[in-house]
Structure 1
């Protein structure tokens, strides 16, 4: 690797770690756009999973006090049930169709929520609906690595405060990504080269996550909501773009 490639590796790790520390998700959203200039996609995608897990693990202590397992467990059970199904669908479904569908969803709903002046606090479906959302996220995670957007969007319309929302989608993403990493490791995708790049990226990831977590502490509910909706919207643009073959 050239010096520029190492710099890009660090910058991607730092940016991804910062966003994850700030919002609880988004490593792939910002890191992939940088890493793909220096790394092949097969390595970059695995690196995103590893660095996401590390960033989220390093920031869990800062939100541990807010974790309510009564709130979280339906998402986790649904997500873990959905991952194997999504993995099996890889051979039978077109990931681009799912990317386009989820991408359009993430362009429409975050925009509507941003411009909506009336507070939303849906209680529809209770824990069963939460589990169904987790199941959908698990399927998309196993199929196309898209575990986060749907549960994150759902948490944004439940009327929860920033700590409750963050706890839900960070613990959900951490669980699903860890399951995905175990599947990848078991199928040989985590090569020695991936491990080496991960070791090089971890300092940037951890420092970025620490700085992002410090920034999170001073955010109001309103500003946190705007950041999450903005990241979801950017994710929607990326998904639509990639689904169209660009």
Structure 2
């Protein structure tokens, strides 16, 4: 077994584990390893495939918490935002966007992890939720960063862990599926991707299964801390990659 295959398997397991634990995070976890073993276009599409698979595997465990009335504004806004973000690609510096999002996410997570104050947002209703979904869709189309804002927003809403996970997992699954279809339409589903998927899927499924079992043992507080810690790593990674 070659080193590249081992990197694909290890990245798939790590990405699946984080996704099973939190409902997001495959890309930022797996790409660290996959970019050493695969061309960037193959690695990016592989992230979408494995993310969708991990999301679908864990979906039955949070199906009871899915509130379609709550989720709908995020989905509508996100689907509108994707083509807007893609259109903005020619006018906006992706590096600047990554830097800005990295600063916001890192600052927020650091304050929340180190401090005892937990702000709660009650205003705005579904209009505010839709705006956050729109912003997430724009960032997804622009730089593949669809999940950060909805995840933070769901935490600020002070919903329980299942309700929060249902929102951002439902949002991410929809956005990632649409993105995967766009990659397929662009001709990025290749034989090389197929070979990588064969090695990655078992690790993704096993990692997601283990992550789900750990998730069920977490209370709201520990889940909140875990999400903040993973978002903090993502924010720091964005800052590093934008400099």
Q: CA RMSD in A?
A: 1.1
Counterparts of 1:95-244 in structure 2, within 5 Å, are 95-244=94-243
Unaligned runs of 5+ in 2: none
Deviates more, 1:35-44 or 1:164-173: 35-44
Paired residues, what number?
243
Q: Secondary structure at the match of 1:44?
A: helix
Query: Could you state the TM-score of these two structures normalised by the residue count of structure 1?
Result: 0.96
Distance 1:90 1:191 in 2: 24
Deviates more, 1:222-231 or 1:2-11: 2-11
The runs of at least 4 consecutive aligned structure 1 residues that moved more than 6 Å come to none
Deviates more, 1:9-18 or 1:113-122: 113-122
Distance 2:73 2:114 in 1: 29
Q: Secondary structure at the match of 1:218?
A: coil
Distance 1:49 1:99 in 2: 19
Cα deviations across residues 115-164 of structure 1 (Å, max 9, x unaligned)?
33244321121110000000000001011110001110111111111001
Contact 2:112 2:118 survives alignment (8 Å):
no
Q: Secondary structure at the match of 2:169?
A: helix
Distance 1:120 1:217 in 2: 25
Query: Could you state the TM-score of these two structures normalised by the residue count of structure 2?
Result: 0.97
Distance 1:70 1:133 in 2: 15
Cα deviations across residues 196-244 of structure 1 (Å, max 9, x unaligned)?
2112210110111011001100001111000100011100111111111
| Structure 1 residue 26: Cα displacement | 0.3
Cα deviations across residues 73-131 of structure 1 (Å, max 9, x unaligned)?
11011000100111111222210011000000011111122233244321121110000
Unaligned runs of 5+ in 1: none
